[in-house]
Amino acid sequence: MTSSLLILGGCSGDLSPKPGQEVPMGREETRKRNFGNLFGDDFLVFGGPKKESASGTVSATVNPFIWRASLDTLSFMPLASADALGGVIVTDWYTSSHAPHERIKVTIYVTNPQLRADAIKVTIYRQVNKGGTWVNATADAASATEMENIILSKARQLRIKQLEANK
């Protein structure tokens, strides 16, 4: 009986949050914070989570020019998935008619809302067909760098077109 009283007595303390502690938010509050709401401060904002910069302004998670240029560059390959909010593009395996015993798969990560060279990371996976079985092979790192450069060039061209159109 005394142990029960001690346990209950320990639970009767002040459970209010201390200064500096955050109260956990419920599911609905988290959704509103991350996505905005229909008639709140973010009137008619739909879509992905917002990131707040040091200046307090809300920005996109990926650069739209790099995103568009990445999709354009990979347009010849079948896409397995494309997540604009997370900035990830994954292609399905692609086999060229020039090299039927080899296939590649590409993953692109767009990691920054600014149009910068370090805002993109391309990874190329390669497999070779040996006796009817696809075997992992080493992909040329220079090919991934070359693809990054092509995407960045296209992104710059898209940005320039937009600037000229807004004049």
How far out from the chain centre does Cα 146 lie?
21
Reported pTM: 0.64
Indicate if 96 and 134 belong to the same structural domain: yes
Indicate if 124 and 147 belong to the same structural domain: yes
**Dihedral angle, C-alpha 128, 133, 136, 141, nearest 10 °:** 20
Give tens-digit pLDDT for 43-97.
444 444 444 444 443 345 889 999 999 999 999 999 999 999 899 999 999 999 9
Indicate if 32 and 87 belong to the same structural domain: no
Give the whole-number percent of the chain exceeding pLDDT 70. Answer: 64
Number of domains observed in the structure of the chain: 2
* pLDDT for the residue numbered 29: 55
Indicate if 53 and 70 belong to the same structural domain: no
- DSSP class of residue 18 equals P
81 assigned to some structural domain: yes
